[in-house]
Amino acid sequence: MAAQARICWALHSPSFQIHHHRHARNCNSLTMPPPPSNATTSFMIRRRTTNLDKLSSSSSCRATASTEATESPPSPPPPDKELQRKVPDLQTLVRRFWKVAAPYWFSDDQFQARLQLATVFALTLLTTGISVGFNFLGRDFFNALANKDQEQFTKQLLYYLGAFAAGIPVFVQRDYVRETLSLRWRSWMTKYYTERYFKNQTFYKIQSQSIIDNPDQRIVDDLSSFTGTALSFSLSLFNATVDLISFSNILFGIYPPLFAVLLVYSIGGTAISVFLGRELVTLNFLQEKKEADFRYGLVRVRENAESIAFYGGESNEMQLLLQRFKSAFENLTRLLISSRNLDFFTSGYRYLIQILPAAVVAPMYFSGKIEFGVINQSVSAFNHILGDFSLVVYQIQAISAFSAIIDRLGEFEDVLESSSSKSHSEPLEEIHVVYSSAGGSPTLESNGSVPTAKSHKLLDVEHLTVRTPGSNSTLVRELSLGINPKEHLLVTGPSGSGKTSLLRAMAGLWNTGRGKITFYMEDGENLQLPISSDSGLIEADTTHDSDGKRERSLTRNYKSVFFLPQRPYMVLGTLCQQLLYPTWSEDAIPSSNDSLPFLMRGPNSENASAKRGKPTTEDIIQVLEDVRLGYLLSRFGSLDLTCEWSSVLSLGEQQRLAFARLLLSKPKLVLLDESTSALDEANEAHLYRQIEKAGITYISVGHRRTLYDYHKKTLRISTIDPNNNRRNWNIETINRDGTHSLSSSL
């Protein structure tokens, strides 16, 4: 009975516990936190930020970006088809892991990253040496106890306490350095993926074409989990290798058959665990998606609270939310069942090892061939090596969840890489958007206008055919026109004919189709270097052709062209930042000294000098008065107040605020997509007078008859007839007596 008590004490001794809680045995380790022995293990590596509002895009129930002539998005696949999703093979997972993980270690932060990684590995080696020392200390400690040698016992106890005092800080420091490296890695990857997400309007394509689900979750949650877990698993593999070398000699020297038992036990356990956990990767992947879809539904309710309240749609919204929650619940139920089945095996596997090594070497102890301390030493060495061989068994649920994260990030990486490669390719047919110097080109006669020197033009559209992305349906066919200064154009036509789609093509959002759109700038005018567009012809550096053209990628933040959508975008910030967006948005964001310099470098920061001077407070106050929003200062008390502006301001106020942005930016040309639809006729007339007074030429999309009073020409687009190849547009000159003279007909 005393021997059994001593064996039990040996199994739970400090020398045993200080290294071994990494595999969720009763013996504790300082290498990795133990996974819980229940189904929630699969979520342990997802470090949720519960107070973060997720603006995720759901792959189901999402409309495409076009509000005209676009196909309905596909309905979400039924649960049985989701469960049939192909699990990526090991080669694919390794390839995706490398594509996601490698860039940081070869980045501009590589020196600091590699230095910290080397420090972590060095500390890991040191902790392994400390564990080996504890192994021998434990042997001598229990030998003294078994021999009732009080003097030796006291001496070994003091050694133990000294080893604890020296060893514990090393374990703590190793974990701290690993976590700081994980945070630094995550910070760099967040910047890296966010930059690529916005490049080439990839965020717009993902949302409008429903390419992948929840990109925001992949950037926030999946990157956080990936960096932390990748480091933990990498260090576990490294530590397992060092442990295996360090403790194999100890165990083999004690009793070779025990080493053979260990190999058979660990290999068999690994094979069974992989078989039982084969469904976990798919279930974890789907759970990530379904939880994000449910959260996104809740965010949409908050953002559209007033519209839902007006419709009285509470019951319908509740049903939609509960339906999404039910989908997540059903998937989680399947995940719990799969995890339970796996736990039946892993729990038995974990607890059997508490007695297995002692049972194997006990006959040698009873025969007097070994001392009692050797039993403790063999148990400790056995568990070290078994833990190294059994990483898959102990971490199967965490590995499954990590595999799902690798799969999701790899999928995201493929989309970003595809978007980047397309921007550098030259498809046979696409819409080209070009910025050109006004001085060096020959005259192009425009439809419905008197031919003028090209130096006086702002815009040329040549043989433009616009098609919808994906479905490739033609909306506008062979459109050619020119816009001169103060030659204001009104675009009209029935809903769905392609009016807004034409503006999307001009703004560079759509390039499906053919033709050329040229914006002209004055000689000597500086272009702000923007994020490159989709055109494929545009280079980051200004290029000069034989005609003296300078080609740039198009951006809505370009100072000579401005785009105003029907529903203005309200940024998260102060009233002042609302007005300065997007032209001076970087200037409105305060900077600070940071230990992560790569987070402070933006894609446009090196071109800040190309901008005009930032408006003064007096300029901002005056422009608020010009758009009849001067009362906002007395209402909110300051330009520096931060509010949820999309909720605080009415749609009409938001549209007037957008015109204030326009007047501050002073572009030469503005594209207005029903930008006064929420305003009364008096305010509409006032705003058009303001932008005309500022010398801004405008192209408007609208339906109101009153808009004819502020324009000189009208471009009417009709619904296209698929049975013939005729043009579906005509241009008319607007006479002030209310008649329209036909300049170019169908």
Each residue's pLDDT tens digit, 488-547: 999 999 988 889 889 889 888 888 899 999 988 765 454 443 333 333 333 333 333 434
- What is d(CA 663, CA 628) in angstroms, rounded to the nearest whole number? 13
- What is d(CA 74, CA 169) in angstroms, rounded to the nearest whole number? 56
Predicted confidence (pLDDT) at residue 548 exceeds the cutoff of 50? no
pLDDT band per the 50, 70, 90 thresholds, residue 395: confident
pLDDT band per the 50, 70, 90 thresholds, residue 133: confident
How many CB atoms are closer than 10 A to CB 446?
Answer: 23
Q: Please give the pLDDT value at position 537.
A: 33
| Contact present, 671 and 503 (Cβ < 8 Å) | yes
Over residues 329-346, the mean pLDDT reads: 86
Q: Where are the alpha helices (H) located in 548-704, listed in sequence order? A: 575-580, 585-588, 617-626, 631-636, 645-648, 651-665, 681-693
The angle, 0 to 180 degrees and rounded to 10, between the axes of the packed helices 150-198 and 110-146 is 160
- What is d(CA 456, CA 210) in angstroms, rounded to the nearest whole number? 41
Q: Please name every residue paired with 418 in a beta bridge, in sequence order, or none if there are none.
A: none
Predicted confidence (pLDDT) at residue 296 exceeds the cutoff of 90? no
Listed residue (306, 207, 302, 311) closest to 651, CA to CA = 306
**Which of 83-92, 234-243, 415-424, 589-598 comes out lowest in average pLDDT?**
589-598
Q: For residue 741, what are its two tokens? A: 């003279």
**Which of 69-83, 118-132, 506-520 comes out lowest in average pLDDT?**
69-83
- What is d(CA 734, CA 490) in angstroms, rounded to the nearest whole number? 10
- What is d(CA 430, CA 411) in angstroms, rounded to the nearest whole number? 26
Is residue 362 within a helix (H) or strand (E), and if so which, with residue range? helix 356-366
- What is d(CA 7, CA 146) in angstroms, rounded to the nearest whole number? 11
599 vs 37, which has greater pLDDT? 599
Domains of the chain, residue spans:
2-9+30-55+75-414, 429-589+608-744
- What is d(CA 611, CA 686) in angstroms, rounded to the nearest whole number? 28
Long-range contacts of residues 351-354, Cβ cutoff 8 Å, at least 24 apart = 351/26, 353/25, 353/265, 353/382, 353/383, 353/386, 354/11, 354/25, 354/26
CATH superfamily, with its number, for domain 429-589+608-744? P-loop containing nucleotide triphosphate hydrolases (3.40.50.300)
Q: Please name every residue paired with 109 in a beta bridge, in sequence order, or none if there are none.
A: none
Q: Please name every residue paired with 671 in a beta bridge, in sequence order, or none if there are none.
A: 563, 699
Predicted confidence (pLDDT) at residue 432 exceeds the cutoff of 70? yes
**Which of 15-19, 130-134, 323-327, 436-440 comes out lowest in average pLDDT?**
15-19
Q: Please name every residue paired with 481 in a beta bridge, in sequence order, or none if there are none.
A: 461
Looking only at Cα atoms, what is the longest distance across the chain?
Answer: 118
Does the 2-9+30-55+75-414 domain belong in CATH 1.20.1560.10? yes
| Contact present, 210 and 59 (Cβ < 8 Å) | yes
Angle 599-32-177 (CA atoms, 0-180°, nearest 5)?
A: 40
Q: What is the pLDDT of residues 12-25, one digit of tens each?
A: 333 333 333 333 33
Predicted confidence (pLDDT) at residue 691 exceeds the cutoff of 90? yes
Predicted confidence (pLDDT) at residue 78 exceeds the cutoff of 80? no
First to last CA, the chain: 104
Listed residue (218, 217, 106, 233) closest to 182, CA to CA = 233
Q: What is the pLDDT of residues 611-634, one digit of tens each?
A: 557 888 999 999 999 999 999 999
- Length of the chain as a residue count: 746
Predicted confidence (pLDDT) at residue 46 exceeds the cutoff of 50? no
Global pTM reads 0.68
**Which of 19-23, 133-137, 710-714, 724-728 comes out lowest in average pLDDT?**
19-23
CA dihedral angle for residue 362, residue 366, residue 368, residue 374, rounded to 10 degrees: 30
Phi then psi for residue 437, to 5 deg, are -65, 140
Over residues 716-731, the mean pLDDT reads: 86
Angle 404-407-412 (CA atoms, 0-180°, nearest 5)?
A: 130
Q: Please give the pLDDT value at position 624.
A: 94
Predicted confidence (pLDDT) at residue 472 exceeds the cutoff of 60? yes
571 vs 437, which has greater pLDDT? 571
| Contact present, 123 and 173 (Cβ < 8 Å) | yes
Q: Please give the pLDDT value at position 557.
A: 44
Over residues 632-655, the mean pLDDT reads: 89
400 vs 66, which has greater pLDDT? 400
Predicted confidence (pLDDT) at residue 453 exceeds the cutoff of 60? no
Instruction: Supply the DSSP symbol for 718.
Output: P
Q: Please give the pLDDT value at position 319.
A: 86
| Contact present, 566 and 676 (Cβ < 8 Å) | no
Over residues 169-177, the mean pLDDT reads: 89
Among 130-139, 293-302, 580-589, the range with the most confident prediction by mean pLDDT is 293-302
Predicted confidence (pLDDT) at residue 746 exceeds the cutoff of 80? no
| Contact present, 363 and 255 (Cβ < 8 Å) | no
Q: Please give the pLDDT value at position 601.
A: 53
pLDDT band per the 50, 70, 90 thresholds, residue 90: confident
707 vs 201, which has greater pLDDT? 707
The contacts of residue 441 (CB under 8 Å, 6+ apart) are 454, 547, 548, 549
Among 232-246, 479-493, 726-740, the range with the most confident prediction by mean pLDDT is 479-493
